[in-house]
Structure 1
Amino acid sequence: MKPNKSLSRLFLVSFSLFLLLPLAAVVVIFLLNSYSSQEDSVSNRLNVIASSLTDRISSKLENPYKFLETVAEMTQEYGHEEPQMNSMLISGIKSFQIFEAIYILDSKGRILLFDSAYYKSYNKNDFIGIPLPEIATGTIADTKWSRAAISPLSNNMVVRAVVPFDGGYIVGDIGTDFISEMLAESVPDTNTVISITAPDGKIIASSIRSVTGSLANHPLLRHTGSFDPMMLKYKYMNEDRVGTIKTLKTPGWFLLYEQTAASAFVYFTQILTMNILSVVVLLAFSVFILFFIRAKLIVPMRLLTERSEMISQGMFIQFKDSEKGVFKELRTLYDSFEKMMITIDRREKELRDKEEYLRSVFDSTTTTGILIISMDDEPIIMDANVGTQIIFGYKLSELLGLPTAALIKELGNELSEMCKESRRTDVMVTKQLEMVKKNGLNFPVLCSVYPLFGSNGHIQGFICVCIDITEITRVQSELESEKERLDVTLRSIGEGVVAADKFGRITLVNSSAENILGQKYRFILGHNINEVLQVYDYETGKSLTERITDLSPKSNRTFRANMVTKDAGVITVFITSSAMTNNRGEIIGSVYVFRDITDRMKMEQELISRKKMLEDINKSLEKRVQEETEKRRKNEQMLFEQAKFAAMGQMISAIAHQWRQPLNALALYVQDIEDAHDSGEVDRNYLVSFASNAMRLIDHMSSTIDDFRNFFHSANSTEKVDVPSVILESLSLVTTQMRSQMINYKVQIKSGDKEQIYENRIPEDYTPINDITLNIFSSELKQVLLNIFQNAKDAIIDHRKSTGEKVGNLIITVTYKSDRLKIDIENDGGNIPEDTLSRIFDPYFTTKPEGEGTGIGLYMSKIIIEDHMDGLLVAQNTKTGALFSITLTYNN
């Protein structure tokens, strides 16, 4: 029995050396590697999240700061008193909603001009001259960003961005709430804290909003050298923590991202627990194996040894049937081991496939629906992400096993067909589908189907990515509707309208222009304007094409000319050319409005011939007087039409100015979609805000078209109107032009001891000063006022060229007297020469250069006031300019 004991002891030692000890070493090494790998994983995760947050916050702060630098450059060039500076501050508050206030300060830190999202609660003038303490005392005068402080306007936490320039500073108060919201959204659990601090440790924002004060003694702030650490382990507030610190380059702040060590390394703790349980199970299993081996291997080997000794001694004892079975069990053990290895290989492959599948699902964005679809003829949903649950309104348990046909609006399964096509071509298939939410609501979706390949290279299923495009579709539809409304308006105009870009390529042709030119829109679009508009001077026959297409930003020319057309040959037209400019005065295109007056010119020739005949015949003075009266009436009618045609050109120019700012703002909103998408900010709230802002601008542009369409429309009879309201409506059409030319205007309404004054604004809540109305054609009075306003604007611009002045003034005074109403329109654009003052109301008399004035505007204005309204229109010089006075009696 001693040899058997030695063999058993040898087996136990060998089992321990070659199995248990290596297995223990493997477990220890695995734990060490797991801990190291967990450290790397935690470090990478902390740095990725912190770096992403740093980039997003820096990006959010960079554009507002660049805007302040632009304001500083303009203030240094033009000064703070320019009206455009106030408009720019207002635009900045509206465009960058993180601004709570923007200040223009002098060199001593005193407020010269400011605007705020909260200023309606205060009087702006109360703040002028008040110094900002941090600037006046030099605390942050030489830095770009201040510490967090309480805003005096809103009582919110703000930081101040400072841009110095020669003679003062531009300061913007930026609320920190948006930073705190971004930090709070990025916190995965309650054991994580994210903070933004100034270089001195002052807390600017935190994921825990109630936290304020300073983190100057925080261990992370000791590592703010030339590099950002990957991960630090430290003890803070009697708690083990891990964290990282990143530098926000734009403001020079620090982002501190930290977690409790227990939360960060929870995965390693779970692995350690599982390994301990595994070791316990393994030890129990080893004891069982030792017992089994002893019974099935050691004992049979001892029997074999005994049998061998007996054979050597010449004795032979046959094995019992039970003893023979031991070799079969050894073979069974080998076979079981081999099957076990095959099963392990198959399970490892399944785990690798599952890992790739999980990686594909969770590497996708959570704001987009992602479905995993089976390869069946009628595919079902095998898995879905959170985005799918949000978009379709289903729970995950409801989606699993659901046929894809349940998500499609129409009968049939378009999603199944997309899967078949993707399987056939091995590429992505994308379509726009109408899909159905759980509540039955239909909505448009941009759907893409990708093949899901397994480790063997075969397709195992499909990944379906769904993007809700409801808001995008609605905005596109509304933009198309607005474009159609504009097209209908242009088609309803009797004059031909052609628009071209700054390179002279035609971009717009209305139906009237098609009829006049004898060419269809599709054959004209994209051609050079010089090739299409072949225009020659009516009197001299010289080509006017270069003159009407070579425009300066302030040009507005009207010609009577002959035009070559495709069908009608040469016709006579009145043509007006106007330049479209942006807010910087740069030409972005041109507009040409023309009307066929061939029949009118033939009528003029016929009238001339008849006049000669009447002079020859001249049988009766009464008949002669009647014919002359009729001739004068027709001439006046023709002049009236010419005046309306010229006013139409002025209205086109006004629309170009009215649309300039909304179009620029709309372009900024569209461009911001890409930045917002890259920053992960495109969610439903963002799209709702984008749609609301875009529709507000579109409604404003639509109302401008309605104003243009209704400007010259009047009823068939006179109507009772409030004259000041007509003046304010007319003034609103040229307000943008006045502002762009730096012309201030003031409207004064006086009735007895009552007085209303409006400076550089059209009131939204205008209330008549009294109940006195006049029975007139309001559109005719608008035409007169618009003509006088345009002449005043032109006079002020020409006067600046000789004097060098930058600002002009227009004063409109409405005075109610006992029996009449008087309208005084005064400008400071210089005096009218005395030798022309008495002739300015003559037909075809103009002081403007040839081609820039028709000489019929003031003539028709006098006829409208004096003949149509029984009033009086006179002009006189003042000390600095000219004064036009309109007197109307109440018995109109």
Structure 2
Amino acid sequence: GFLFLGVSVSSIGILRLNRNIQKAHEKLQAEVEVRKKTEKRLRESKDKFELLVKSLPSPVYKGQVDWTVDFLDEKVEKLTGYPLLDFITRRRRWCDVVHPEDIELVKKNFIQALKTNKSYFRTYRIKTSEGEIRWVEDRGQIICDNNDEVIHIIGVFNDITEQKLADEEKRAMEAQLYQSEKLASVGQLSAGIAHEINTPTQFVGDNVLFLRESFEDIARVIDTYTKLLEVNKEKETNTEITKKLDEIIEEVDLEYLMEEIPKAIEQSLEGVERIATIVRSMKKFAHPGTEEMVPSDINEAIKNTIIVCRNEWKYVSEVITDLDESLPPVPCKIAEINQVILNMVVNAAHAIEEVLGENPQKKGTITIKTRKNDKYAEIIISDTGKGIPEDLRSKIFDPFFTTKDVGKGTGMGLNLAHNIISEHGGTINVESEVGAGTTFTIRLPLDNVQGSKESKEEMFY
């Protein structure tokens, strides 16, 4: 052995020390290699992330509850018109670009997400640096710690302005289509309505002519009675006048006139009332209504529509109604619901007509019921027509689909009805049996009191 720093070290000890140093060196090198590989993977992961973010069509963000952002990719400049640096340096917060009218709704949406599954999906408007209004679809997730405190928020903005404009254009086209269909319905019904009004008008006119002629005859009787009264006042007997009076009474058939004139007057009044009812129903049916959903009497709408389209069904069917008088007012656009009921009743009449032929010996039946079913009002329209084959039932609500002869229908009636009921938040279902008939069940929600205002708020939830 020998002394090393005052310590006796054997050659075996030196070898052991060398081995330990070598192992420590190798371990250190291995750790360095692991660190290098980890750093390389992190760089690769970061590069992949940045590449992924750049490849996405929409801006990705990571932010805080105070509307500031920790990360936001450069595509936000194209969306908002503001420099990315404004957001990264927090000189500008996201709430600065959200449309002022939509901020409260976005906040409410965030609070609701916190209370539920921490994810959100909202649609709202932003104002660009040029003052342009754009629509964004904001999808994200709230990340919280174990104490349910918010750490950060991650999400993506999708620019849906073009989609919104397309949707608005589609709604405008649907509105025009609805109006065209309504005008087509009115045109189709006009001949029948003219006939319905013409019939009572004709017998009112006939009765008025009868009353005019009858009045002339009665005037002759009264004139003769007046002369007889004057003679009696003079206390003289004038058999010639009395004889003349008997002849006139017999000639004009006074007894018949006294019996028929009240009937003619009553019939005329009934005819005038029928005309007034048709006109009132037509006015209510054709009224444009409002753009807002307002509580409306569905039963009255059904009664008016049945009167308006009476000429379409009266030759082929009877209409039976079973309307729930306790049904509460239904929030709806009543003019659109009138159109739906009209389409259904006319379709039912045509279905029955195809079974019975042009000269039916026995009429079919159209049954219309209303009832309250939980939170919905139901309108059930059944007919005893030919029924719908099973392979066609899935197509009946398609636009321009029809099994009617050319000129008999546009193929838009049921499609329009389906769209209207869907926009009301309701449903329309069909049950049919070939050879027995068809039943349509329309369900409209009773709790949509806020109408379009509520629908607008629902976009943000």
- Using CA pairs under 8 Å that are at least 6 residues apart, name the structure with larger relative contact order, 1 or 2: 2
Query: Which structure carries more helix by proportion?
Result: 2
